[in-house]
Amino acid sequence: MTIDDLIGPVQASSHLGDYFEEPIDGWFGEFGGQFVPELLIEPLKRIEKVARECFSDPTFASELETELHTWAGRPTALTHAERLGKRWGADVWLKREDLTHTGAHKINNVAGQIKIAQRIGARHIIAETGAGQHGVATAAACARAGLPCTVYMGEVDVERQQPNVHRMKLFGADVVAVSSGDRTLRSAINETLRHWASDPVNTYYLLGSAVGPHPYPWIVRTIQSVIGRETKSQLAERSVAADVVVACVGGGSNAIGMFHQFVPDKNIRLVGVEAGGLGLDTDQHAVTIGTGRPGVLHGSLSMLLQTDAGQIRETHSISAGLDYPGVGPEHSMLSQTGRASYMSVTDAEALSALKECCELEGILPALESAHALAGAREIAREQPGQTIVVCLSGRGDKDLSTLMSGGTDRE
Amino acid sequence: MNNGAEAIERSLKSPVSGKVAVAAYLTAGFPTKEGFLTAARQIAPSVDVLEVGVPFSDPMADGPTIQRTSEIGLKNGVDLRWILESVGELDLNVPVVLMSYLNPLLSFGLRRLLDIAADKGISGFIIPDIPLEESEAISRACDKAGLALIQLVTPTTPTDRMTSLCRASKGFVYAVATTGITGGESASDEPLFEYLEAVKKVSDVPVLAGFGIRSAAQVDRVGAHADGVIVGSALLEAIEQGVAPDQFISGLTGRNA
């Protein structure tokens, strides 16, 4: 089922070549669009216009590069995980987004979007956060820019990611615990959109993943693609030829940032790993591409976990950052065209991969990133001897309480 | 053949109150399935359009009241199929418009939905998360089925866009009276009146002001600059407090208050 069947032709094109640089009228093939209340149309148009100016302005590019280098700590290392590789029967490389300032790839997007917000003349930044990494990055950037910041976070996530809540507050952000809906990332996005609709002129919504209405998926991917660019040149420097590139997918910003540069390299497999939660035989998971169907949530048409009646389903994942019923429209397109494939691993598999990475490499990955590791382990098992690059999207310090309580979390 | 747009316009042009037209919003399934149907029956003679809200799990344009009533509606097992069946059976003597987020409609299948809705005597649709740019195909399909697709304009909508929205809107134009979400405070008077007059100037169909309409005094003031008002959150809150919905509406319009 596509929106074509439902409402007739939309401005859609599935030509891979066309999509590569930019979505067409806000569409990635049959996915994307701008399904928001009329109040938000003008602000979105303004953001798109300013983002276009920024992305074609060499000054913006050089300022962003300097900021990423001198503040966020880029370029991040590409680590040869030799012991992990030996255990798995593969040549394993880790792109170390965990080494960035504030501890995850989220800082890249924030460093770029805060400049767009400043150029628009925003007086107040609002953001949603799931695991808290995007919230922390946004709070940090706002402190540095001298802009007030409000972060919406589901009550469930506030509970399980306490250290990040404290960090946001230290950076001066106002953290609002969202008690409506399912009290996780999805409700936090709803609440941020409501706040934005109430003051669309002075407020800039700094969205943290490659989801939401156009132009966000495009903006976030464009900025995050620094991950794949660096990885590609680091592989070349060390004369490594990757067979597979693996990343975890919730909304999908680290994955799309990693994949984007590799899309034209058809000999390299791109694999996204979704959160299998308690397993696909239960309804306690967040396997959107694997088990969902197209629908509209948070402003875009993409794969979606929903009931037969079109209500959004509650999800479960041990990792707050992957606990989301939607996914970025570009991933839905990459899946549909077959350019990328998507698999899932369970909470338990992610935890065991996390432990292996700690014991063999001395690296504590975030629970989100541990899903990518578990996916890579599975890929290595299926076909030994491959060269696998894993996007280690963030560090696991924030997950210590979950890990110390034996890997169980909510409820 | 059912012509929803005409039925709505006709009804709005001879308001029950004799002064200002009133569209009332009820969330389907709130406070219970039966309670909702009773409220719809009670309220129908005192309003000019009845909006039936299709509950959605993620109502991003709605404030706390409609979030709460939607959650209750869903808990009570309401879905589109039930709404179409039972509202059809009510056979109310007032045009009924379904207000729904896009996803439940997509899930039902739009073509099937429009056919059934027309058959059940529904007059039109308000879909807050489908902007003009994405609405062309739905709009055409609605026209064909004799259903009105009602567009929303806001205080921050630029003039040229406002003109396009008003031209595309059938039955009436939904003028959002504030920036924000349903149930909030409406904008202060002068800019609001100017904005409503501007919408009326470019619209060929009646202009109804909604979002934040709560009191009789407000209905009077806003009604002087619009063809009518839309009341939702305040009505639902009254029902929560045990006030009879028709009495609440009479209180708003000053009729046998």
Instruction: Report ipTM (2 d.p.).
Output: 0.94
Give the Cβ contact number of residue A186 at 10 Å.
Answer: 27
Q: Once rounded to an integer, what is the mean pLDDT over residues A295-299?
A: 97
Structure tokens at A197: 């609709």
pLDDT of residue A15: 33
Top mean-pLDDT range of A81-95, B210-224, B241-255? A81-95
Pairing outcome for strands A78-80 and A91-96? antiparallel
> pLDDT tens digits for A193-226?
999 998 988 999 999 999 999 999 999 999 999 9
CATH of the domain at A229: 3.40.50.1100
Reply yes or no on domain B4-242 having CATH 3.30.1540.10.
Answer: no
Q: Round to whole Å and give the CA distance between A365 and A355.
A: 9
Closest residue in A to B141 (Cα) is: A7
> pLDDT tens digits for A5-56?
444 333 333 333 333 456 788 899 999 999 999 999 999 999 999 999 999 9
Q: Round to whole Å and give the CA distance between A257 and A262.
A: 10
pLDDT of residue A12: 35
User: Angle at Cα A128 formed by Cα A354 and Cα A272, nearest 5°?
Assistant: 40
Select from A220, A240, A263 the last residue of a domain.
A220
Q: Which phi and psi angles does A154 have, rounded to 5°?
A: -60, 145
Note the helical H segments in chain B.
4-13, 33-43, 64-75, 80-90, 102-108, 110-119, 136-145, 159-168, 189-202, 216-223, 233-240, 245-253
Structural domain includes residue A131: yes
3-state secondary structure of B238: helix
Q: Which phi and psi angles does A99 have, rounded to 5°?
A: -85, -5
**Interface contact flag, B179 A198, Cβ < 8 Å:** yes
Residue with tokens 């680091």: A234
> pLDDT tens digits for A330-386?
999 999 999 999 999 999 999 999 999 999 999 999 999 999 999 999 999 999 999
3-state secondary structure of B96: strand
Residue A293: exposed, middle, or buried by beta-carbon count in 10 A (0-12, 13-18, 19+)?
middle
- Structural contact between residues A408 and A389, judged by C-beta atoms closer than 8 angstroms: no
Top mean-pLDDT range of A183-187, B166-170, B217-221? B166-170
Q: Round to whole Å and give the CA distance between B227 and B207.
A: 5
Structure tokens at A5: 């069947």
| Catalytic-role residue among A48, A67, A106, A187 | A106
Strand ranges in A85-228 using DSSP code E only, listed in sequence order:
91-96, 124-129, 149-154, 174-178, 203-205
User: Angle at Cα B207 formed by Cα B204 and Cα B208, nearest 5°?
Assistant: 160
Tell me the residue range of the domain where A216 lies. Answer: 41-66+105-220
Residue A166 has pLDDT above 60, yes or no: yes
The separation between CA B5 and the C-alpha centre of its own chain, rounded to angstroms, equals 13
pLDDT band, very low/low/confident/very high, at A304 (cuts 50, 70, 90): very high
Select from A171, A193, A220 the last residue of a domain.
A220
Per CB-CB distance under 8 Å, the chain B contacts of A297 are 58, 103
Q: Round to whole Å and give the CA distance between A277 and A325.
A: 12
Residues A133 and A279 in one domain: no
Select from A220, A248, A271 the last residue of a domain.
A220
Residues A235 and A90 in one domain: yes
Per CB-CB distance under 8 Å, the chain A contacts of B105 are 310
Closest residue in B to A3 (Cα) is: B106
Residue B1 has pLDDT above 90, yes or no: no
| Catalytic-role residue among B6, B9, B48, B62 | B62
Residue A408 has pLDDT above 70, yes or no: no
Give catalytic status of residue B134 as yes or no: no
The separation between CA A356 and the C-alpha centre of its own chain, rounded to angstroms, equals 24
Angle between helices B110-119 and B136-145 (to 10 degrees): 30
Give catalytic status of residue A317 as yes or no: no
Q: Which of B114, B86, B109 is nearest to B26 (CA)?
A: B86
Q: Round to whole Å and give the CA distance between A177 and A23.
A: 34
Helices H / strands E in chain A, number of each: 18, 14
Angle between helices A133-145 and A106-120 (to 10 degrees): 40
How many CA within 13 A on the CB side of residue B43? 32
Q: Of the candidates B64, B106, B180, which has its C-beta nearest A310's C-beta?
A: B106
Q: Which of A2, A71, A65 is nearest to A31 (CA)?
A: A2
3-state secondary structure of B153: strand
- Structural contact between residues A374 and A79, judged by C-beta atoms closer than 8 angstroms: no
3-state secondary structure of B240: helix
State the best of B85, B115, B133 to mutate against chain A, taking most chain A CBs within 10 Å: B133
pLDDT of residue A237: 98
Residues A99 and A237 in one domain: yes
Q: Which of B103, B252, B16, B242 is nearest to A307 (CA)?
A: B103
Q: Where are the domains of chain B?
A: 4-242
Closest residue in A to B102 (Cα) is: A296
Closest residue in A to B128 (Cα) is: A37
Residues A94 and A133 in one domain: no
**Interface contact flag, A33 B134, Cβ < 8 Å:** yes
Residue A60: exposed, middle, or buried by beta-carbon count in 10 A (0-12, 13-18, 19+)?
middle
Per CB-CB distance under 8 Å, the chain B contacts of A205 are none
pLDDT of residue B182: 76
State the best of B54, B57, B62 to mutate against chain A, taking most chain A CBs within 10 Å: B57
**Interface contact flag, A38 B165, Cβ < 8 Å:** yes
Residues A100 and A110 in one domain: no
3-state secondary structure of A105: coil
Q: Once rounded to an integer, what is the mean pLDDT over residues B119-140?
A: 94
Residues from A contacting B (CB-CB < 8 Å) are 3, 6-10, 33-39, 41-42, 180-181, 186-187, 190, 193-194, 197-201, 294-299, 304, 306, 308-312
State the best of A1, A4, A7 to mutate against chain B, taking most chain B CBs within 10 Å: A7
pLDDT of residue B212: 87
Q: Round to whole Å and give the CA distance between A365 and A393.
A: 8
**Interface contact flag, B58 A194, Cβ < 8 Å:** no
Structural domain includes residue A175: yes
Per CB-CB distance under 8 Å, the chain A contacts of B165 are 38
Per CB-CB distance under 8 Å, the chain A contacts of B80 are 309
Residues A145 and A236 in one domain: no
Q: Of the candidates B56, B109, B156, which has its C-beta nearest A42's C-beta?
A: B156
Q: Round to whole Å and give the CA distance between A98 and A396.
A: 8
Residues A157 and A260 in one domain: no
Q: Which of A4, A8, A302 is nearest to B138 (CA)?
A: A8
Structure tokens at B140: 């055409």
pLDDT band, very low/low/confident/very high, at A160 (cuts 50, 70, 90): confident
Question: Domain total for chain A?
Answer: 2
Give catalytic status of residue A232 as yes or no: no
State the best of B83, B100, B134 to mutate against chain A, taking most chain A CBs within 10 Å: B134
Closest residue in A to B63 (Cα) is: A194
Q: How many CB pairs under 8 A join A and B?
A: 127
Residues A160 and A295 in one domain: no
Per CB-CB distance under 8 Å, the chain A contacts of B110 are 6-7
Q: Round to whole Å and give the CA distance between A347 and A308.
A: 26
B218 Ramachandran zone, left/alpha/beta (phi>0; psi -120 to 50): alpha
Residue with tokens 């979950």: A402
- Which percentage of chain A shows pLDDT scores above 70? 93
Per CB-CB distance under 8 Å, the chain B contacts of A199 are 179
Strand order in the sheet with A78-80: A78-80, A91-96, A387-392, A244-248, A269-275, A340-345
Residues A325 and A193 in one domain: no
- Structural contact between residues A257 and A402, judged by C-beta atoms closer than 8 angstroms: no
Structural domain includes residue A409: no
3-state secondary structure of A34: coil
Residues A247 and A194 in one domain: no
> pLDDT tens digits for B139-187?
999 999 999 999 999 999 999 999 999 999 999 999 999 877 777 766 6
Q: Which pairs with CB-CB distance under 8 Å and at least 24 residues apart come from B66-72?
A: B66/B27, B66/B182, B66/B183, B66/B232, B66/B233, B66/B236, B67/A180, B67/A181, B69/B27, B69/B30, B69/B31, B69/B236, B70/B27, B70/B30, B72/B27, B72/B29, B72/B30, B72/B31
